[in-house]
């Protein structure tokens, strides 16, 4: 059974940091493109960062470049999202997701990912 379980969300003041984790099981995690998405109330789900398997190429949304870092620990089947200099507009539910492909170069939309976690909430206050 495939599972993606996010953790690490919480409440933080603007300028603060959080690191999200996503524990994966039930599939060949190390061979899959993995992504972090977020969805704020009333808004569409948007990709934040994605990480290709193999090449390790990272892609970031312009809104988080220089502040967020996506990385993975294949030995622990865990994906991470380190978030620094958080802004109020980063407030959302964050989801990790997996593609049935190694590459992430064009995988910017939710329908390109097959496995999803339940989400973890991040609230940034001013």
Q: Give me the chain's average pLDDT, please.
A: 95
> Does the pLDDT at position 14 exceed 90?
yes
Handedness of CA 5, 54, 109, 126 (dihedral sign): positive
59-66: which pairs have CB atoms within 8 A and are 24 or more residues apart? 59/104, 59/105, 59/108, 63/89, 64/90
Please state the separation of Cα 61 from the chain's center in Å: 11
**Which single residue is written with the structure tokens 């953790």?**
7
Under the banding of pLDDT at 50, 70 and 90, the label for residue 15 is: very high
**Which single residue is written with the structure tokens 């200099």?**
85
**Which single residue is written with the structure tokens 């990709």?**
47
Radius of gyration from C-alpha coordinates of the chain: 13
Residues of the chain with pLDDT > 70, as a percent, come to 100
Please state the separation of Cα 68 from the chain's center in Å: 10
In Å, how far are 60, 62, 119 from 22, measured between CA atoms? 17, 22, 9
State residue 54's pLDDT score.
Answer: 85
State residue 55's pLDDT score.
Answer: 87
The answer to whether residues 21 and 79 touch, using CB atoms and an 8 Å cutoff, is: yes
State residue 29's pLDDT score.
Answer: 77
State residue 27's pLDDT score.
Answer: 86
pLDDT digits (tens, 9 = 90+) for 33-87: 999 999 999 999 999 999 999 889 999 999 999 999 999 998 999 999 999 999 9
Cα distance between the two ends of the chain: 40
Residues of the chain with pLDDT > 90, as a percent, come to 92
What's the rounded Cα separation, in Å, for the pair 90 and 80? 16
């Amino acid at each position: 059974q495939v599972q993606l379980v996010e953790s690490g969300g919480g409440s933080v003041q603007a300028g603060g940091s959080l690191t999200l984790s996503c524990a994966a099981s039930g599939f060949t995690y190390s061979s899959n493109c993995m992504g972090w998405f977020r969805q704020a109330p009333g808004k569409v789900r948007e990709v934040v960062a994605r990480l290709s398997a193999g090449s390790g190429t990272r892609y970031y949304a312009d809104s988080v470049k220089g502040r967020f870092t996506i990385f993975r620990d294949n030995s622990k089947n865990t994906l991470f999202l380190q978030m620094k200099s958080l802004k109020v507009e980063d407030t959302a539910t964050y989801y990790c997701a997996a593609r049935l492909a190694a590459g992430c170069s064009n995988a910017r939309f939710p329908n390109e990912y097959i496995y999803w976690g339940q989400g973890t909430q991040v609230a940034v206050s001013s």
